[in-house]
């Protein structure tokens, strides 16, 4: 992969301390439509499988950074995989089903449940920032599994939802602007 060699040149012997996964695609899909496996797979490939593969590609550089710290800590100063997801994936907040937007395939690729706003350390190396939800299912399952597999490497796994942001996918009715969220 060409991109990994470019990153290797930049980080050198230090390795990569933070991998930020911010994948998101929204292909409209409704329960009451003609079945289309490709639309579901397209959502899943970007929103879950793409995160898995990209993370695996950069693992050698994350391990290199983590190995340079001799303590038992899990932190972004050592090595971290940070994942951004979406509040629309909430199971308990889903009161509209596919809705008028065709959210079925998107929801099943990023499923979660609602939670309060807190910051806490869960398990040894999973940091979960609860803004709107604690992610479960595809992305959470992936990150939970990787957190166990990478525990010996002391790589932190973090997941959070930035809220409903005005973007092409979030739309103009969203509550937060990109510049407003970046300042928070």
160-180, pLDDT tens digit by residue?
776 667 776 666 776 777 676
pLDDT above 90 as % of the chain: 23
pLDDT digits (tens, 9 = 90+) for 93-114: 666 666 677 766 666 666 543 3
Model pTM score: 0.71
> DSSP letters of 110-165?
S-EEE--SEEEEETTTEEEEESSEEE-HHHHHHHHHHHHHTGGGT-EEEEE---SB
Most distant CA atoms of the chain, gap in Å: 56
Question: May I ask the CATH architecture of the domain 2-183?
Answer: 3-Layer(aba) Sandwich (3.40)
Poorest-pLDDT segment among 33-37, 89-93, 137-141: 89-93
Distance CA 118, CA 132 (A): 10
Tokens matching residue 5: 């060699």
> How many other C-beta atoms can be found within 10 angstroms of the C-beta atom of residue 180?
12
Is the pLDDT confidence value at 16 over 70? yes
Place of tokens 């920032």: 129
> DSSP letters of 79-101?
-EEEEE--GGGBSTT--STTTTT
For 116, residues 6+ apart whose C-beta sits below 8 A from its C-beta are 130
First to last CA, the chain: 34
Q: With residue 59 as reference, give the H or E element that holds it.
A: helix 50-66
CB 170 within 8 A of CB 26: no
> How many other C-beta atoms can be found within 10 angstroms of the C-beta atom of residue 33?
12
> Can you tell me the mean pLDDT for 121-138?
42
């Amino acid at each position: 992969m060409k991109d990994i060699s470019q990153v290797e040149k930049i980080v050198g012997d230090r390795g990569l301390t933070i991998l930020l996964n911010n994948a998101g695609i929204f292909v409209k899909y409704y329960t009451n439509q003609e079945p289309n496996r490709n639309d579901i797979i397209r959502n899943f490939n970007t929103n879950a499988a793409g995160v898995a593969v990209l993370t695996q590609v950069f693992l050698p550089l994350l391990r290199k950074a983590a190995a340079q710290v001799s303590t038992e800590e899990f932190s972004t100063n050592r090595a971290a995989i940070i994942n951004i997801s979406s509040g629309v994936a909430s199971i308990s907040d889903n009161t509209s089903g596919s809705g008028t937007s065709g959210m079925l395939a998107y929801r099943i690729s990023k499923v979660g449940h609602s939670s309060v706003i807190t910051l806490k350390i869960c398990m040894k190396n999973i940091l979960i920032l609860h803004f709107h939800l604690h992610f479960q299912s595809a992305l959470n399952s992936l990150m939970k599994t990787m957190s166990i597999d990478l525990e010996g490497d002391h790589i932190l796994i973090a997941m959070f939802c930035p809220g409903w942001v005005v973007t092409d996918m979030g739309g103009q009715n969203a509550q937060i602007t990109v510049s407003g969220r970046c300042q928070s």
